[in-house]
Structure 1
Amino acid sequence: MSSTLWRIPASRLDATLDRVGRPVQSTDERDDLIARAFWHVIAEPGDAAVGYLADTGSLVAAAQALIDGCTPATLVALSAGELSAEAATNAVRRWTPRLKSEDVVRALEIAGTVGAQLLAPDDDGWPDGLDRLGPHRPHLLWVRGRTELAPRPSVALVGARAATGYGEHVAMEFAAGLASRDMVVVSGGAYGIDGAAHRASLAAQGDTIAVLAGGADRLYPSGHDALLTRVIDQGAVLSETPCGTAPTRWRFLQRNRLIAAMSDAVVVVEAGHRSGALNTVHHALSVGVPVGVVPGPITSAASAGCHRTLRTSDARCITSTTEIMELAFDSPSGDGAVTLSARPSAGSTRVRDALRPRRAQGVDELARATGMSVDEVRAELGLLQFEELAVEEANGMWRKSNSPRPAPAQF
C-alpha cells in the first residue's frame, strides 16, 4: 500500500515516525503504525469494533476502506463476521466525522515535540496484561519516559481524589514498600491517593507509571505538572489517547481499564460511595485481576466504597505490603463477581461531558467530539433533555443545563 493512502508524503511520515522513536524499514511497517495511530484518532478508547478488525489483522485494510468511503458490509467482511451489519453501520457513523489524515500526523508531530514514543503490541515494552481486555484493548500506546517499565510486575494503587490524611499515609507506606520489593507502582496521576502513591515511589527511588486520560503531552491535572514531570524522568507516563487529546470524564473511565488490566493486582486504598476508583475495581474484577481493599474507620465516608466492595465482591482485605504481594502472586483471582449500582450509559456520559453550559453546540459538533454517530448523539440528547441535563435552544443547538438534577451514582 502506498503512502497515498494517508494523503501525506511518505517522507513526512517517515520523518515524523523517526521523531517518536519508530524508524521504519518498509512501507508495510509504516502503514501498520500509521493505521494504529489513525484508529486511535478517529475512535474513542475501548471501541470494540476496532478490536474486531485488529483480531483479523485488518487495521490497515479497514483504514483504507474507510477513507475510500466503504459500505458497512466491507467492515463486516474484514472483521470475519465478528461485526454485525448494525454494529458496522453504527461504527461508520461514529468514525466518519473524524476522518482527517492530517489529525493523525498532527498527533505524531506533537508526540515528537514532547519526546513521546510509540509502543505497539509486538514491542518488547508492551504490557501483555492488556490482552485481557479482548476487543476493548488499545492498539497503540503513547509513552513518555522509560518504555521498558510497562511489562514488569506491577501493582496499581488507586483511591479517592479527596483523600484523608489516613488514606494518603497508607498509600505512601504501601508504595514505598512495593518499591523496596522492586515492584512498579501504577496509578492515574490524580490528586489524593494517586499522587501520594507516585510521590512515595519516587522518594523511595522506585519505579512508577502514571496512566493518563488525555494525551501524554497534557500533564493533567495541572497542579501535578511538576510531579508528573518527575514521573517521566524516573518512570513513565503513558496514554492510549493520541497527543493533543483533552481528558474527558468518559476517557477517565476508560483509562481505568488500562490501569486494571496492566497490573498484577489492584489495591483501592480509600474510596467513597461515588469514587471513580471503584470503576477501576470493576474493570479489574471483570478481567480477573485480583483486587485488594484497605479498610478504614467505619465512621469515615471516605472509606464507605471500600467497605461496600468488601461486602459485595471477592476482593480481599489488605493491611500490609506483604498481603499485597500475596494477593498479586500467591493466590488465584476470583470469578470477578461484583454488585454495582445503576450507572449512566457510556453514550450518555460522553455526550454530557461534551456539552457546554454557556456555548451551544450542534449535533454534528457533538458527534465529532464524542466519537459517536449523529443518530446516537440525538438519542442520548433526548434522554438527557428528559432528565433536565441538556437544553435544546430554538435554533436546534444544545447546551448543558445550568441546574441539572443530581446525576446517578457512578464508578
Structure 2
Amino acid sequence: MSGGDDPDHELLARVFLTRVIEPGDEVAGRWVRELGAVGVARRLRSGGDALPGRSGTRWAGLVARAGRAEPERDLAVAREAGVRFVWPGAVEWPGVLDDLGDARPLGLWVRGRPSLRMWALRSVAVVGARACTEYGAHMAATLAAGLAERGWVVVSGGAYGVDGAAHRGALGAGGATVAVLACGVDRPYPRGHTQLITRIADQGLVIGELAPGDHPTPSRFILRNRVIAALTRGTVVVEAAYRSGSLVTARAAQRLGRHTMGVPGPATSGLSAGVHELLRGEAVLVTDAAEVVEQVGDIGELAPDRRGPVLPRDLLEPGARRVLAALPARRAATAGEIARGAQTAEDDAIARLYELRALGYVERHGDGWKLTRQAMISAHGGRGEC
C-alpha cells in the first residue's frame, strides 16, 4: 500500500483501516486527517512506534489487528455479496457525514442500488425503543409511511421495535428506506430481521462501517447512532426510556445542528419518559409526517392548520354572533339588555334577534328573548353550561 494519491491505494488503505480501527475513533481520525489513510495504514503495517494519542499496549493491539487484515479479500467478499465500498471524496460519499469531523467514518459499506449521496439529501431518521408498545410501533410505521409518500427517505437502525416498524412503514408505502447497521452489511442483525433487511437491500440501502462478517457489540451500536444523526436532516424519536440508545442519536443530531423531534406518549409511560425529557429541551413535538416535514423541509412545506370542527354559529356574521353571545344561558332577556351586552343599538339587536330566530337559535318569551335548547347544546358541545 504505497503511493499517496492513487485512488486504488486510497481504497485499499481505507478498507484495511475499517478492519483495524473501531468506528468513531477520533484519535485515529486525526491520524488519517494529518497523515492520510495510506500513511496510517503503512505505519500500522510496519508495526513501528505508536502514533500520538495511543499507549504502547493499545498500539500493539492495533498492530495485531493490522497483521490479520486482508483488504483485497474483504473487497472480493463484498463484491460477491453485492456490496460496494464508498469513502470520503468518492462521488457517492454523502458530504453531510463530514460534519462529524475526526469521528467521520473511514468509509461505508453499501448494499443496494440507489445513490447514498442523493438519498441523504432528503432523509429523516425515525428511531426509538426496541421494546416498544403497540402505540409506538403504530406511530413509527404511520410516520414513516407518511414521509415516504411525501418523497422523503426514512433512515433507521434495522433493530426490533420502532426501527423495524419505521422500515416496514416506508416499504409498505412504496417508499425509500436506509438501514444503518452496527455490523457487516453482509450479515444481517438481528437475525430475526434477516428477511426485512434483505428486503431493504432490494428496495433501498443497507449501510455500515464494519467490514464484511464483523459482528455487533454494545459500543458499536452506540457509535453507529452518530452516522444516523449526521446522515439525515433531522431525527424523530418515537418512544424512548431515559437510557434509550435512540436518545444518543437525538443528542448527536442536536450537536450537529440537525432538527430533533419527539412523538409524545402517555405521561405515565416509562417508555416515553426520555422523549418527554427531549421535548422539555430543544426538541420539537410532532404527531404526524406533515409536522416532521414542516421542520426538515424547504420553506413553504408547512403542516396544515389544526382546527376543531366548524360549528353552525361560526358561519354567522360577526354582529349576529355578538348578539347571540349576549343572551344569558338559562333565562330570557329583554332586547335592551341584549343590546347592551352586544355593545350595539337596540334596533340593531332586535333585527339580529329576528334573524337568529329564523335560524333556530333564539325564541320569543313574552317581551324577552331566550336561547333555544338546540343553541345551548351547540354552544357547550352537548354537555350543558360549564
TM-score bucket of the superposed structures, by smaller chain: 0.7 to 0.9
User: Comparing 286-295 with 101-110, which one deviates more in the overlay?
Assistant: 101-110
Cα distance in 1 between the residues matched to 2:160 and 2:2: 46
* 1:315 equivalent among 276, 280, 283: 283
> Alpha carbons of 1:100 and 1:87: their partners in 2 closer, same or farther (altered >3 Å)?
closer
Say whether residues 1:162 and 2:131 are aligned partners: yes
* Amino acid of the structure 1 residue aligned with 2:265: G
* Amino acid of the structure 1 residue aligned with 2:34: T
Give the structure 1 partner of residue 115 of structure 2: 148
Say whether residues 1:136 and 2:103 are aligned partners: yes
* Amino acid of the structure 2 residue aligned with 1:225: T
* 1:100 equivalent among 38, 60, 67: 67
Say whether residues 1:246 and 2:224 are aligned partners: no
Cα distance, 1:27 vs structure 2: 8.8
* Amino acid of the structure 2 residue aligned with 1:141: L
Cα distance in 2 between the residues matched to 1:208 and 1:179: 8
Contact 1:125 1:147 in 2 (8 A): no
* 1:124 equivalent among 91, 104, 108: 91
Cα distance in 1 between the residues matched to 2:77 and 2:100: 28
* Amino acid of the structure 1 residue aligned with 2:286: I
Cα distance in 2 between the residues matched to 1:27 and 1:121: 13
Give the structure 1 partner of residue 43 of structure 2: 65
Instruction: Deviation per CA, 1:36-74: give whole Å up to 9, x if none.
Output: 0111111100111221123235210221122123223xx
Cα distance, 1:272 vs structure 2: 1.5
Cα distance in 2 between the residues matched to 1:268 and 1:251: 20
Q: Which residues of 2 match residues 80-229 of structure 1 at below 5 A?
A: 85-87=52-54, 92-100=59-67, 102-149=69-116, 150-229=119-198
Contact 1:212 1:238 in 2 (8 A): yes
> Alpha carbons of 1:253 and 1:56: their partners in 2 closer, same or farther (altered >3 Å)?
same
* Amino acid of the structure 1 residue aligned with 2:90: D
Cα distance, 1:151 vs structure 2: 3.0
Cα distance in 2 between the residues matched to 1:172 and 1:233: 19
SS in 2 for 1:255: helix
Say whether residues 1:275 and 2:253 are aligned partners: no
SS in 2 for 1:99: helix
Q: Which residues of 2 match residues 385-400 of structure 1 at below 5 A?
A: none
Cα distance in 1 between the residues matched to 2:113 and 2:177: 10
- Root-mean-square deviation (CA, aligned residues, Å) is 2.1
How many pairs align? Answer: 297
* Amino acid of the structure 1 residue aligned with 2:295: L
Give the structure 2 partner of residue 357 of structure 1: none
SS in 2 for 1:58: helix
Cα distance in 1 between the residues matched to 2:182 and 2:148: 24
Cα distance, 1:325 vs structure 2: 1.1
Cα distance in 1 between the residues matched to 2:203 and 2:53: 47
Unaligned runs of at least 5 residues, structure 1: 4-25, 76-84, 332-411
Q: Which residues of 2 match residues 257-406 of structure 1 at below 5 A?
A: 257-311=226-280, 313-329=281-297
> Alpha carbons of 1:220 and 1:102: their partners in 2 closer, same or farther (altered >3 Å)?
same
Say whether residues 1:31 and 2:9 are aligned partners: yes
Amino-acid identity (%): 45
Cα distance in 1 between the residues matched to 2:95 and 2:5: 26
> Alpha carbons of 1:215 and 1:300: their partners in 2 closer, same or farther (altered >3 Å)?
same
- The alignment's TM-score, normalised by the length of structure 2, stands at 0.73
Cα distance in 1 between the residues matched to 2:82 and 2:255: 34
Instruction: Deviation per CA, 1:368-397: give whole Å up to 9, x if none.
Output: xxxxxxxxxxxxxxxxxxxxxxxxxxxxxx
Instruction: Deviation per CA, 1:103-142: give whole Å up to 9, x if none.
Output: 4334223212211111112223222211111000002110
Contact 2:120 2:232 in 1 (8 A): no
Unaligned runs of at least 5 residues, structure 2: 300-386
Query: Which protein is bigger by CA-based radius of gyration?
Result: 2
> Alpha carbons of 1:53 and 1:319: their partners in 2 closer, same or farther (altered >3 Å)?
same
Contact 2:124 2:153 in 1 (8 A): yes
Give the structure 1 partner of residue 29 of structure 2: 51
* Amino acid of the structure 2 residue aligned with 1:100: G
Give the structure 2 partner of residue 11 of structure 1: none
Contact 1:49 1:91 in 2 (8 A): no
Cα distance, 1:165 vs structure 2: 0.9
